[in-house]
């Protein structure tokens, strides 16, 4: 399925640096872990693929879920998360999330995060599958940008943590089941380099760019999942891909998210005939779990022969729409759509990976010294379908728990550089490959065959596509676009293989040929490269 390494290298001939804690990714999970580790006295280094702000966190609109309301409780949040997860959540992981989450959110507030208030109280919103108003938001619909601002400030200016931008993580350096660091590509200098550490925390995000329509930025290409898999780490639950029901459908790519909070404030979904339809699919209508809303929209699109539906907020006061969702309003107005006067055209788009690198409850993977948190990780907290606004909370809670575990084990300063170097010379130069053309082919195939609706025939066709790319495993990749396409192919094949194996429908995985949820499939699919 994949070669051990993406490129040829010899660490003895590359520039290198050694640190106590090496963190990959600059979203909420990576930066919060960096902040916590630095406060413990560790020497921390953060690597990020583009700029520090180029993350899914920065784009997050709706908010962060936490049971802090007077009528709310961690127990209610626990029950909502389990229900949304379609009987596949790890209850212990969920209990940790909901019980430790409020304290982590409180620390964000202490650091200066300006969540919206109504007078002296938090302005708590409501989103799909939540039984309570428990969503903290900032500047209406710019919650992620506010959290990114605060954590970036903490890491760079308060904690003085170095952040190396435009450093692409190519492969992990693992020997006898232990991670000693990683190989990276410095885009500014166009060269490979090595970072040694006994503690590597992968917080690189998911793989939304597998799909032609996604809310994720271009950098989200499954690099962390693929690198960990190549190194021998367990990966789990990759068949469960969450498609957000409402991405803006006014332009190619559907890259702009229309937050679930819009439906939480009373937004109504209407088909091309102007009919409200979600009441026919679920008692909670527009506030049903995301997988249910997505399939409802797809069904209406098929019945009307249209490629979109409309999210209608015209019945709400215009001042509420504009003040509560200023970012969404600005974007829509720039395209000639006034949400206060007309329906917003929307369609589902790939949004979040419930699966990822398998971890325990402290973020440890099956490789010693390698940890993972955020969307790249899978501790079982989201099950088969993530509850809205639990993703930012997940990054905080499990990023913090990794640091707590590392402090207990105290592996700092153990001179990892003294071990013998790593070497790979097995890859051959190959015929030129146009990564962008191959990427577009992959994205189109994944959307058509491994999207929200799946069949054995379509999944088998997808696997045939991957068979046709197998020659790339023996070809040396030498620059980021070539690294990315190989990572996307690796993760795409894992997603497809798991989806074909799971002969039932559950959460974000829906098989049209096996439409029922089956009790004997209440288990996880785990892959490990041998």
Residues with a catalytic annotation lie at 290
Q: Say which DSSP state 421 is in.
A: P
Contact 419, 389 (CB under 8 A): no
Q: Is 189 exposed, middle or buried (CB count within 10 Å of its CB: 0-12, 13-18, 19+)?
A: exposed
Extract the tokens encoding 517.
């949820």
What is the distance between the alpha carbons of residues 307 and 331, in angstroms, rounded to a whole number? Answer: 20
Exposure class string for 218-251: b at 16+ Cβ within 10 A, else e: ebbbbbbbbbbbbbbbbbbbbbbbbbbbbbbbbe
The structure tokens 């409200």 sit at: 276
- Tell me the C-alpha to C-alpha distance, in Å, between residue 257 and each of 327, 421, 502: 10, 45, 29
Query: Which residues have a Cβ under 8 Å from the Cβ of 488 and sit 6 or more positions away?
Result: 207, 209, 210, 221, 222, 226, 439, 442
In 3D space, the residue among 195, 144, 214 whose CA is nearest the CA of residue 20 turns out to be 195
Q: What are phi and psi of 370, to 5 degrees?
A: -110, 125
User: 10 Å Cβ neighbour count for 280?
Assistant: 11
Under 8 Å between Cβ of 170 and 178: no
**How far is it, in rounded angstroms, from Cα 43 to Cα 524?**
36
- CB-based contact 209:444 (threshold 8 Å): no
Q: Which of 260, 49, 332 is nearest to 167 (CA)?
A: 49
CA distance 329 to 509: 32
Beta-bridge partners for 346? 248, 309
């Amino acid at each position: 399925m994949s070669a051990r390494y993406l490129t040829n290298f010899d660490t003895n001939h590359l520039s290198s640096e050694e640190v106590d804690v090496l963190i990959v990714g600059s979203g909420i999970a990576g930066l919060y872990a960096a902040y916590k580790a630095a406060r413990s006295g560790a020497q921390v280094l953060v690597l990020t693929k583009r700029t520090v702000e180029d993350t899914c966190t920065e784009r997050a609109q709706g908010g962060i879920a936490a049971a802090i309301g007077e009528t709310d409780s961690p127990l209610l949040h626990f029950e909502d998360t389990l229900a949304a997860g379609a009987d596949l959540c790890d209850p212990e992981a969920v209990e940790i999330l909901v019980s430790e989450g409020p304290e982590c959110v409180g620390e964000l507030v202490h650091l200066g995060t300006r969540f919206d208030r109504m007078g002296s109280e938090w302005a708590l919103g409501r989103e799909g599958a939540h039984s309570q108003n428990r969503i903290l938001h900032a500047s209406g619909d710019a919650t992620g940008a506010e959290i990114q601002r605060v954590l970036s400030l903490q890491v760079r200016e308060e904690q003085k943590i170095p952040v190396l931008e435009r450093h692409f993580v190519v492969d992990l350096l693992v020997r006898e089941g232990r991670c000693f660091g990683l190989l990276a590509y410095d885009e500014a200098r166009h060269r490979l380099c090595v970072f040694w550490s006994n503690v590597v925390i992968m917080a690189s995000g998911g793989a939304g760019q597998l799909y032609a329509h996604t809310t994720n930025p271009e950098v989200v290409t499954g690099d962390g999942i693929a690198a960990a898999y190549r190194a021998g780490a367990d990966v789990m639950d990759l068949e469960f891909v969450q498609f957000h029901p409402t991405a803006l459908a006014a332009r190619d790519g559907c890259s702009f998210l229309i937050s679930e909070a819009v439906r939480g404030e009373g937004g109504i979904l209407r088909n091309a005939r102007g009919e409200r339809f979600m009441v026919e699919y679920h008692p909670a209508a527009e506030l049903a779990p995301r997988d249910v809303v997505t399939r409802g929209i797809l069904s209406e699109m098929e019945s009307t022969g249209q490629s979109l539906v409309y999210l209608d907020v015209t019945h709400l006061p215009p001042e509420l729409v504009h003040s509560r969702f200023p970012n969404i309003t600005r974007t829509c107005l720039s395209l000639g759509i006034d949400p206060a006067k007309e329906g917003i055209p929307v369609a589902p788009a790939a949004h979040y990976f419930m699966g990822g690198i398998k971890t325990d409850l402290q973020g440890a993977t099956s490789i010693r010294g390698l940890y993972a948190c955020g969307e790249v990780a899978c501790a079982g907290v989201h099950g088969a379908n993530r509850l809205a606004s639990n993703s930012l909370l997940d990054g905080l809670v499990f990023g913090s728990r990794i640091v707590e575990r590392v402090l207990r084990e105290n592996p700092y300063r153990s001179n990892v550089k003294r071990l013998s170097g790593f070497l790979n010379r097995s890859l051959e130069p190959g015929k030129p490959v146009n990564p962008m053309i191959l990427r577009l082919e992959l994205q189109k195939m994944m959307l058509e065959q491994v999207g929200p609706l799946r069949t054995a025939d379509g999944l088998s066709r997808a696997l045939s596509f991957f068979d046709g790319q197998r020659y790339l495993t023996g070809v040396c990749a030498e620059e980021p676009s070539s690294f990315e396409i190989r990572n996307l192919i690796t993760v795409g094949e894992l997603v497809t293989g798991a989806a074909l194996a799971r002969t039932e429908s559950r959460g974000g995985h829906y098989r049209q040929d096996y439409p029922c949820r089956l009790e004997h499939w209440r288990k996880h699919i785990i892959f490990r490269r041998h």
